[in-house]
Structure formats: C-alpha cells, structure tokens
C-alpha cells in the first residue's frame, strides 16, 4: 500500500507515530482503524439493490455486503489475518451497528464527553475528527452528552460494592456437596495458572464454581465450616459476564488483578493480567489497538494501545474495577 496514502489517512484520523514506534506497528494501527471506519461507512451505502427499509432499524444493508466489502479491502491493505466478523461483532456489542435478521444499520447519534473530547457513535465516519482503535471522536458533540457508563452499559458502582449488592439479592442458598463434576475459581494464584484451578473456600471465604460443561454457575460461601451454595441465573454468567463476580472474589481474597499503564506522547500502552467483564472489555477493545500486531488470542485482548486522550477514562474503569494500577 502506498506510504503517501497511509500518511494521509493517518493525518486525517490523528494517528500519530511515536518516536520509537516500529513503522510496521504504526501502519498496522492506521490500516486497522481505516478498515473499521470503512465498515461503518458501508452502513450508509445507497445502492438500491442493497438497501431494505425496516420498520425498527430504518434503512439497512445486508450482512454479506458489509463483510465482503471489508474483507476485500483488508486484502488490498495487506492485512491477511484481519477478522471482519470479529470487528463487526465488536461494533454490535458496543452499539455502533444494529442488526436484525441478517440486516445491518447505523444507530442514532450518541456522544459522551470524556477527557476534553466527545466519543461518538451514529455519525458517518467522514465526520470524525480523530480515532482511537475503531472508535470515533469529535471536538464538538452533536446530541446531548451522556455518561460513558450510560453509553456503554457499564455499572456505576465499584466492583466490591456491586458484589455486596448482588449478595443481598441471593436467597436460594442450600448446602453444597462436591460431586466431582465441578471446577472452582482460582482466586489465590496468578491468572497465568488458569482462571479455574482453585479449591473449595476456607472458612470465612467465598468463591465461584461451575459445572464441567460450563452451563451452570454457583457462588459458594464457607460460614463456620459449613459450605453453602446458590445457583446464579444464566444472564449473570453467560458471555463471560461471570468475570464481574470473579474479579470481586479475587479482590476479596486480597489477590486483586493488576494493570500497567505506560504513557507516551500520543498514546498509552495498557497491560493487564485479568480480562474485564464484557461491557468494560468491549469498550477497551473498541477504543484501542492491540499492542503487537503479531499477538494472538488472549494476549492481544490484554495488551492494548489507546490514544492518549482516552487514558484518564480507561484508568477510571480499572479504578472502578479495583485493579492495582501501576503507571509509568
């Protein structure tokens, strides 16, 4: 891809290269962001063969139209491992793309005022002043600002306060018997040793266990040497929502997750050792690039780079989740 074109795209989107940043890493960030915005732009295509009016979504385009277009562009940009479906799914989870019966549409305009800029969705990408990852920012908002929590469905309470509130709602406690068909949350050791390599709770402790088929989850509490359990409803645990409970339990076990935030001139790198719950994790992945373009799977989700403008907001998420924050 022509370097002059990459420079122009980077300038338009405010993706500045750090002094010591590898050129391939910087070019990857530019291409990744451009493909994300191209995906959003495809929702506005006006080809009569593609548009279908939906009574709830308005004008829609087909899923195939969007994914085939972006996949072709990824090949042109030289990003052979670019996962169009994964990016589209992230946009759906964060409200940037609406979907219904294989049709896709853009949402209404929503913006949040954070750290001196407006994080915005529901606009044509050409109107964005700057990007971080595949999120868009504008100097001037279009609609009334909402909070970041409201825009992305992030609970407002600190995680241990949230967990205390959850416990008050649980009434279905019963005696627990280990039938050998469950595994326990690892709250004592490093997450590198596995999220599910723990043991039964000691007296005065709590933990989480799940069936080996990963369909059912229980909170366990050891009070006076007697272990009781309460089954959690599916919506509390599906799609990795159980991370919210798991993080609270690690903190109560005095083994809080950690995050290192290293600020640079234009960006900040973020490395953390435990995945966040879906709302928070999706927000961070939306607003960031993976730190190393060769990172795979789990590592690429916890080693991220963000625009420096969003550093304070990202830090506030980890503060609310009560991670141990180290800054450089």
Closest CA to 135 of 143, 153, 123, 147: 123
The span from the CA of 73 to the CA of 59, in Å, is 23
Helices in 120-216 by DSSP H: which ranges? Answer: 148-152, 159-169
Which has the closest alpha carbon to 207: 184, 223, 188?
Answer: 184
Q: What is the CA radius of gyration of the chain?
A: 22
β-partners of residue 269 are 262, 305
Alpha-carbon span 223 to 228, nearest angstrom? 8
Domain 258-327 CATH assignment equals 3.30.70:
no
What is the Cα–Cα distance from 328 to 94, expressed in whole angstroms?
29
The residue among 284, 279, 266, 7 whose CA lies nearest residue 157 is 279
- pLDDT given for residue 47 in this prediction: 61
Q: What is the pTM of this model?
A: 0.93
> In the chain, what are the domain boundaries?
159-252, 258-327
pLDDT, one tens digit per residue, over 32-69 is 999 999 999 999 987 645 555 666 667 889 999 999 99
**pLDDT tens sequence across 242-298:** 999 999 999 999 999 999 999 999 999 999 999 999 999 999 999 999 998 776 777
């Amino acid at each position: 891809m022509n370097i002059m074109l990459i420079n122009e795209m980077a300038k338009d989107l405010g993706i500045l290269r750090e002094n010591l940043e590898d050129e391939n890493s910087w070019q990857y960030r530019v291409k990744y962001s451009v493909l994300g915005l191209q995906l959003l732009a495809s929702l506005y295509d006006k080809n009569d063969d593609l548009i279908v009016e939906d009574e709830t979504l308005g004008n829609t385009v087909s899923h195939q139209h969007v994914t085939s277009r972006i996949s072709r562009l990824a090949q042109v940009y030289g990003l052979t491992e670019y996962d169009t479906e994964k990016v589209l799914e992230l946009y759906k989870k964060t409200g940037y793309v609406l979907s219904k019966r294989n049709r896709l549409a853009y949402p209404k305009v929503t913006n949040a005022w954070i750290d001196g800029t407006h994080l915005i969705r529901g606009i044509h990408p050409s109107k964005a002043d700057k990007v971080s990852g595949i999120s868009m920012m504008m100097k001037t908002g279009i609609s009334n600002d909402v909070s970041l929590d409201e825009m992305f469905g992030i609970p407002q309470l600190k995680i241990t306060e949230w967990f205390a509130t959850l416990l008050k709602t649980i009434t279905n406690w019963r005696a627990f018997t280990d039938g050998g068909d469950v595994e326990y949350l690892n709250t004592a050791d490093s997450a590198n040793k596995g999220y599910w390599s723990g043991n039964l709770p000691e007296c005065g402790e709590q933990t989480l266990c799940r069936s080996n088929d990963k369909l059912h989850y229980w909170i366990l509490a050891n009070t006076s040497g007697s272990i009781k359990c309460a089954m959690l409803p599916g919506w509390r645990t599906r799609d990795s929502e159980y991370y919210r409970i798991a993080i609270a339990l690690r903190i109560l076990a005095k083994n809080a997750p950690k995050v290192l935030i290293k600020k640079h001139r234009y960006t900040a790198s973020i490395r953390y050792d435990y995945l966040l719950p879906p709302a928070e994790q999706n927000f961070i992945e939306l607003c960031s690039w993976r730190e190393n373009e060769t990172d795979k799977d789990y590592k690429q989700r916890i080693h991220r780079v963000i625009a420096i403008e969003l550093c304070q907001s990202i830090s506030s998420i980890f503060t609310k989740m009560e991670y141990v924050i180290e800054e450089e």
